[in-house]
Amino acid sequence: MREAFAVAFGAEAAGIWSAPGRVNLIGEHTDYNGGLALPFGIDRRTRVAMRLRDDDVVRVASDFADAQAGGVVETTLDRAAEASGWSRYVLGAAHVLRRELGVPGTGFDALVSSDVPVGVGVSSSAALESAVLVALDELWGLGVERRAMIRLGQLVENEVVGAPTGTLDQSAVLLAERDHAVLLDFRAGTAEQVPLGFEAAGLEILVIDSLVRHDHATGGYGERRRECEEAARIAGVPTLREVAVDDVEAWAGRMPAAVHRRLRHVVTDTDRAARVAALVRAGRPLEIGSILTDGHRSQRDDFEDSVPAIDAAVDAAVAAGALGARLTGGGFGGAAIALVDVAASPRIQREVADAVEAAGHARPVVFAVHASQGARRDPEA
Ligand code: GLA
């Protein structure tokens, strides 16, 4: 990367910073409802090599497949909010940092390289904006705390990109630790590291990319969010976290049926996240599979944010012997995850791809992921 940086910009990078993609084990669409979620950082990372300039020019290059070969986006700090395409995650991070912290900042050159797949639901966008946030934080000498950085990343999504998302992705990417998931409580604002113990139990997580792409700035995500707000308004609570599992059915018939189904998903998924976290913490990860699959049914039937190719992947994974499987991330496309025995993993990967293709969908791309370190400056040899 250092060589590529020197070729692109004719200067030495000051360092390389990176951030992982994330998989959410359970707890979906709970973040903006004050609930619980249990994500982990994955061993696919976005890296940013950077150096400061002595003017206000910003130059950004990447090796993304969709970036023009050798193309460099060039602008100034003051025009960073006008960015489009993938570079808005980089420029948006600079813009939000300057505005929220009231610092002038200085121009910079950045080269981005990533093996986090884009549009899959594993938070390639949070990985990119978070890698840039930690890089600029260090180079601009700001000392922003991780909790504050989570909010800055969300502002990039909400304001610069226009996606009305919560803080699940940035929390996962910025707080992740190797071999741990992080139990996020969005009402209390707490984050607790939970050792996964997957390796010791002979387990791993597969990501099954449906190749159905989603866009949370324009897709059904915003509609679901409004439906959740409607449910909270009718139930007379500040967030759906205030509705107990046992009270869910009492609301049936007192709100539109679809809105009630959204409520049921959100409330029961927080309950599932709590139960999965407790089992994992107790060293019983072999027992979480059916809770994951219940979570998928809840998303498919109640939250209605799955798609047929992902339902097919979940069914195929369970039929092939996965302990459990579910849609992960914002939905309306993206990927399923499956919890599998490491010894059976290659066979399950093959059988899932075969079965989904035989059901008339695109052949999914399947890969294993392992819980990895969050955003940081990369050590260099
Ligand atoms: C996307 C959003 C998150 C969260 C999930 C659903 O990943 O960015 O804020 O709402 O969807 O759990």
| Ligand 1 centroid distance, CA of 187 (Å) | 16
For the CA of 167, the closest atom of ligand 1 is 9
Our answer on whether the CB atom of 165 is closer than 6 Å to any ligand 1 atom is yes
Query: What's the pLDDT score for residue 309?
Result: 97
Closest by CA to 1, choosing from 98, 110, 123, 107, is: 110
326 φ, ψ (degrees, to nearest 5): -165, 160
Q: pLDDT grade, residue 24 (50/70/90)?
A: very high
- pLDDT tens-place string over residues 296-320: 999 999 999 999 999 999 999 999 9
Mean pLDDT (the chain) is 95
Cα(300)–Cα(307) distance, rounded to whole angstroms?
A: 8
The pLDDT of 367-381, averaged and rounded, is: 95
User: Residue 240 contacts by C-beta under 8 Å, 6 or more apart in sequence?
Assistant: 33, 34, 35, 228, 231, 232, 263, 266, 267
pLDDT tens digits along 124-171: 999 999 999 999 999 999 999 999 999 999 999 999 988 999 999 999
Residue 28, ligand 1, Cβ within 6 A: yes
Q: Can you tell me the mean pLDDT for 357-364?
A: 98
| Ligand 1 within 6 A of CB of 153 | no
Name residues whose C-beta falls within 8 Å of residue 148's C-beta, 6 or more positions apart in sequence: none
Q: How remote is the CA of residue 276 from the centroid of ligand 1, in Å?
A: 19
Query: Ligand 1 centroid vs 166 CA: distance in angstroms?
Result: 6
Weakest-pLDDT range from 157-161, 223-227, 285-289, 363-367 = 157-161
Q: What is the pLDDT of residue 192?
A: 98
In angstroms, what CA-CA distances link 325 with 114, 248, 300, 303?
Answer: 26, 25, 12, 16
Is any atom of ligand 1 closer than 6 Å to the C-beta of 168? yes
Cβ contact 334:193 at 8 Å: no
* CA-proximal residue: ligand 1, atom 2 (nearest): 165
Distance 109 CA to ligand 1 centre (A): 30
Q: How confident is the model at residue 381 (pLDDT cuts 50, 70, 90)?
A: confident
Quickly tell me which residue has 């509609």 as its tokens: 223
Q: What is the pLDDT of residues 226-258, one digit of tens each?
A: 999 999 999 999 999 999 999 999 999 999 999
How many Cβ atoms are within 10 Å of 351's Cβ, its own excluded?
18
**What confidence score (pLDDT) does residue 214 get?**
78
Show the tokens assigned to 163: 């996606």
For residues 219 and 199, give the distance between their C-alpha atoms in angstroms, rounded to a whole number: 36
Residue 217 has pLDDT above 80, yes or no: no
- pLDDT, residue 104, reads 95
Looking at residue 70, what is its pLDDT? 55
| CA dist., res. 191 & res. 267, Å (int) | 19
Q: Which ligand 1 atom is nearest residue 123's CA?
A: 7
Q: Is the pLDDT of residue 380 over 90?
A: no
Burial (CB count <10 Å: 0-12, 13-18, 19+), residue 63: middle
What pLDDT does 86 receive?
A: 87
Report the pLDDT averaged over residues 343-351: 98
Q: Tell me what the mean pLDDT of segment 323-327 comes to.
A: 98
Which pLDDT band holds residue 4 (cuts at 50, 70, 90)? very high
pLDDT of amino acid 218: 74
Of 24, 25, 29, best ligand 1 pocket probe by most atoms within 8 Å of the beta carbon:
29
User: What's the 168 CA to ligand 1 centre distance in angstroms?
Assistant: 6
- pLDDT tens by residue, 91-136: 999 999 999 999 999 999 999 999 999 889 999 999 999 999 999 9
329 lines ligand 1 (CB under 6 A): yes
- Going by C-alpha positions, the residue among 206, 231, 91, 250 that lies closest to residue 156 is 91
State yes or no: is 43 an active-site residue. Answer: no
Q: Which of 31, 109, 137, 169 is catalytic?
A: 169
Residue with tokens 């300057």: 98
Q: Would you say residue 202 has pLDDT above 90?
A: yes
- Number of other CB atoms surrounding residue 365 within 10 Å: 15
